[in-house]
Structure 1
């Protein structure tokens, strides 16, 4: 398991993106301590996800 850690100013800045986006890209650094793995998040970015649907047929 990996823990995502947001400092309050980072959460305040990116909370809307994190809550509303179907997928996000996170930028930060990894810390390991006593068997736990934490990602200290510095920035987030929404990632577009294609809508599910049928593929057009090839002829």
Structure 2
């Protein structure tokens, strides 16, 4: 089985978790482009991470 089939994405690509760049909006943009977007949570507290996850969910289906 191919990676994109396992992930349910168009392309077999996983966005790297880059601190301060991989926000919910960035992860959503990558996901909407057909890859797997990731929110980088290193250095975030729980409320900040929750906010980024909600942003990603709001921008994706």
Question: Does 1 or 2 have the higher relative contact order (CA < 8 Å, sep 6+)?
Answer: 1
TM range (shorter): under 0.3
Higher normalized strand content (fraction of residues): 1
With the length of structure 1 as denominator, give the TM-score of the two structures: 0.20
Structure ranking higher in helix proportion: 2
